[in-house]
Chain A
């Protein structure tokens, strides 16, 4: 180290290419973070449950956390590309300095990436725990979901066991799905509510949410289940409590 200090090289941040890289880093971070989070959240559409709002927020936050990393990689590589380029069939002259390592840079890099990684892990775990707790403490409507090639069947156990091939849910009421299958694996995915769980033959899996907006949403099978997998879709109708009660009675259940 002492050798390096005595050579009187200017501090690294004063060098022109370092300045250029830092400038580009800031620019790229802003561009990548802004465009990526806008494009992604727009593609994910408007949420119909708190799970989905959380997921969209998480994607946004992760994008902003990742933007400086992506921006740094982009800034460093583009600065390098704008630097000395050599064309031809013979190699350029060899480097003047034999830089084989920089413990300080390496250590900083590893520490920062570890911190980012731990942030992602902890954030995810907190969110999982929160969802899990909500599912357990609420007093939900129970619905049995059965997948079979290539339809869904719903049984409203809390409403006198009414059955239907359409999914109707009351707004702002927690709902717990007990999901199973009669043949192969399917995956029960209500897109705009951000929930998904596999339907396995012989087992019952659970997932739940609270729809918070009246509307029509998409239920899709997300696990290849044979010939008409692509067509194993349904609409999910979220309606007011009164409409829901009427619909259930219409189906032969009790409200």
Chain B
């Protein structure tokens, strides 16, 4: 009776028949509230904001209006999804009760929980997986537009303005997709189970980090219709301050995404440090966990800088400040520094979890322990540590500080040492092993091959005299696709196939995984070897037309790109068909020894009935026989 009195609103059939607010909010209310608030602020600003004086040197009324509308969208969307309920309740001294928390965790809601502010880490993991696939699909389509345009000699059928916008859009959303593609789906769904926890340390922050990404996407989408991101993903100033209103969409997108990354980083780091199962010492923690933590911990110093750089960019645009305007005392070099202080750690944010995921799979598919676990950790730590000290190798030829070229060349090339350690760990684990031929296992070989090419070409680029020739050419584009796609995406696709049975309860179709693997890997190597060649011959990046000497190389690249597309479509078909009617997966299809395989399919709400106690590391293959 008293409990009923305490929470009358949550009783299902009370007098008014209305469900409590917390149960009525979902993605629909979020979209409505977000859109309505954006439109309201837009109209108010149109009416009340004074016109620019005709004599003003900057016209920024439109920038103010569009930035305010985007902020209104963001606040409205987050309110509509229910992100503010928790903080408000807490501020007024009435925290959520148990039933409400169970509701937020998605208890007994079926499919609906995927469209709500659900805190269960498994729901968030699936949400991340779906949104990653959607973003990769859009980014891939844009890549195909770029390649189709460049497949045609002497420029194409896309207007230069639209082409530049497509390049910028492809770049930035692919960067976001690759940043979240491992730590999002697998870091959220698998990682807490792997360390023997019932959920993340801060479940509501977990939901927040996902819905922030959803909130960030419409601004970048709308930007395409308001002038586009015509600056490439790096959005260098002063080009960005000159660009149209589309840049405001980019700024809003980056700021929201940066908050999401910081929130996720704090959450995941805390979870791993504080919530590992009893007995899981650092020596018994799986290597994938190290990869995820290194990735999000690197994002913690990197993304606030990115956030700040864009706030300054917004102020230059809307308030005529001059952080980056050299005519008024600012400097474009300031932007370059801020951008790359984020930009270089960011590539390792993408790469490290991918390599770590494959390190996790190598013992499983060779039935032997991980070779030199300590060296793997040293490699990850070494890369993470050095990666914050190398940013100015993107600026060798900018003229900013020629005297600093030598020290940055040193720190950059030192990274090859910890990277070599990761190679040794993978090769050492595979060497003379009995190989269980599966798509994830072959992905390890593919990663070694692609990352070797990406790494070696990186050494050419890090040497100043070679960079004076190669910087800003297609060679650079090919190099970072080899690392981010050839290594990063390969690891993510392997993770998808490997953890698919746990996440969906069904096996990934074997044939489709093989077909897609070979199409993607062959297409990839064809496409980007062709790109290296045109880069060496002198084709600049981000051009929509080129001299006739580059015809052949570009045609090869375009054909390779179409092969990749075919492979990715096969994979997408595999995801959908296996998810809907694949073979039901046993609890531990790979007979692996990490904790996520000890829980039932589908994983129960709080993962473990009784929390596990760990007595050894998860790589004890072959002990019985020795």
Distance A11 CA – B468 CA, assembled complex (angstroms):
48
List of B residues within 8 angstroms of A54 by Cβ? 465
For residue A161, CB closer than 8 A to chain B, the reply is no
For residue A171, CB closer than 8 A to chain B, the reply is no
Chain B interface, number of residues (Cβ within 8 angstroms): 95
Residue of A nearest to B230 (CB): A226
For residue B3, CB closer than 8 A to chain A, the reply is no
B223 CB → nearest A CB, Å: 17
Distance A194 CA – B470 CA, assembled complex (angstroms):
8
Contact B399 A198 (CB under 8 A): yes
B221-248 near A? 1/0 per residue, CB < 8 Å: 0000000001110001011001000000
- The range of chain A's interface size is 35 or more
Binds B, one of A68-76, A136-144, A162-170, A242-250: A68-76
B402 CB → nearest A CB, Å: 8
473-490 of chain B: CB within 8 A of chain A:
473
- A124-B464 contact given A95-B622, A202-B326, CB 8 Å threshold: yes
Query: By CB atoms of chain B within 10 A, which of A77, A80, A205, A229 has the most?
Result: A229
Interface residues of A (CB under 8 A from B): 17, 39-40, 43-45, 51-52, 54-55, 58-59, 62, 66, 69-70, 73-74, 76-77, 80-81, 83-87, 89-102, 105-106, 109-110, 113-114, 116-117, 120-121, 123-125, 127-128, 131, 179, 183-185, 187, 189, 191-192, 194-198, 200-203, 205-207, 218, 220-231, 233
Contact B456 A52 (CB under 8 A): no
A75 CB → nearest B CB, Å: 10
B454 CB → nearest A CB, Å: 12
For residue B434, CB closer than 8 A to chain A, the reply is yes
Q: Which of B366, B373, B465 contacts A55 (CB 8 A)?
A: B465
For residue B459, CB closer than 8 A to chain A, the reply is yes
List of B residues within 8 angstroms of A96 by Cβ? 622, 625-626
List of A residues within 8 angstroms of B436 by Cβ? 86, 91-92
Contact A125 B326 (CB under 8 A): no
B285-318 near A? 1/0 per residue, CB < 8 Å: 0000000000000000000000000000000000
Contact B437 A98 (CB under 8 A): no
Binds A, one of B74-82, B173-181, B541-549: B541-549
- Ranked nearest first, the 7 interchain pairs of A and B with the lowest CB-CB distance are A202-B326, A205-B399, A222-B472, A230-B543, A191-B538, A95-B622, A124-B463
- A117-B326 contact given A58-B463, A183-B238, A220-B538, CB 8 Å threshold: no
For residue B203, CB closer than 8 A to chain A, the reply is no
- A222-B471 contact given A51-B465, A87-B437, CB 8 Å threshold: yes
For residue B469, CB closer than 8 A to chain A, the reply is yes
Distance A205 CA – B44 CA, assembled complex (angstroms):
47
List of B residues within 8 angstroms of A80 by Cβ? 427, 430-433, 435
List of A residues within 8 angstroms of B622 by Cβ? 94-98
Q: Write 20 A-B pairs (CB below 8 A) sorted by A numbering.
A: A39-B533, A58-B465, A73-B452, A86-B436, A89-B589, A91-B365, A95-B621, A98-B622, A100-B371, A117-B413, A120-B459, A197-B397, A201-B326, A202-B327, A203-B333, A206-B399, A220-B538, A221-B540, A226-B164, A226-B242
For residue B421, CB closer than 8 A to chain A, the reply is yes
For residue B523, CB closer than 8 A to chain A, the reply is no
A58 CB → nearest B CB, Å: 6
A40 CB → nearest B CB, Å: 6
Distance A58 CA – B435 CA, assembled complex (angstroms):
39
- A106-B372 contact given A86-B434, A98-B622, A198-B397, CB 8 Å threshold: yes
For residue B577, CB closer than 8 A to chain A, the reply is no
B582 CB → nearest A CB, Å: 13
List of B residues within 8 angstroms of A121 by Cβ? 409-410, 413
Q: Which of A55, A100, A124, A192 contacts B409 (CB 8 A)?
A: A124
Distance A92 CA – B621 CA, assembled complex (angstroms):
11
For residue B448, CB closer than 8 A to chain A, the reply is yes
Interface residues of B (CB under 8 A from A): 155, 160-161, 164, 230-232, 236, 238-239, 242, 326-327, 331-333, 364-375, 397-399, 405-406, 409-410, 413-414, 416-417, 420-421, 423-424, 427-428, 430-437, 445, 448-449, 452-453, 456, 459-460, 462-466, 468-469, 471-473, 532-533, 536-538, 540-547, 589-591, 619-626
Residue of A nearest to B327 (CB): A202
A26 CB → nearest B CB, Å: 18
Q: Which of A77, A120, A183, A196 contacts B430 (CB 8 A)?
A: A77
List of A residues within 8 angstroms of B542 by Cβ? 224, 229
Q: Which of A85, A89, A196, A202 contacts B471 (CB 8 A)?
A: A196
Residue of A nearest to B406 (CB): A125
Contact B416 A113 (CB under 8 A): yes
B490 CB → nearest A CB, Å: 14
Residue of A nearest to B375 (CB): A106
Distance A106 CA – B376 CA, assembled complex (angstroms):
11
Distance A214 CA – B285 CA, assembled complex (angstroms):
64
Extra A-B contacts (12), CB below 8 Å, given A44-B536, A124-B465: A17-B432, A45-B538, A58-B466, A87-B437, A92-B434, A100-B370, A100-B619, A120-B459, A179-B399, A191-B469, A229-B542, A230-B543
Contact A224 B466 (CB under 8 A): no
Q: Which of B420, B465, B472 contacts A113 (CB 8 A)?
A: B420
B342 CB → nearest A CB, Å: 19
B514 CB → nearest A CB, Å: 11
Residue of A nearest to B232 (CB): A224
Q: Which of B332, B370, B406, B546 contacts A200 (CB 8 A)?
A: B332
Distance A128 CA – B465 CA, assembled complex (angstroms):
6
List of B residues within 8 angstroms of A94 by Cβ? 367-368, 621-622, 624-625
- A227-B160 contact given A86-B436, A100-B369, CB 8 Å threshold: yes
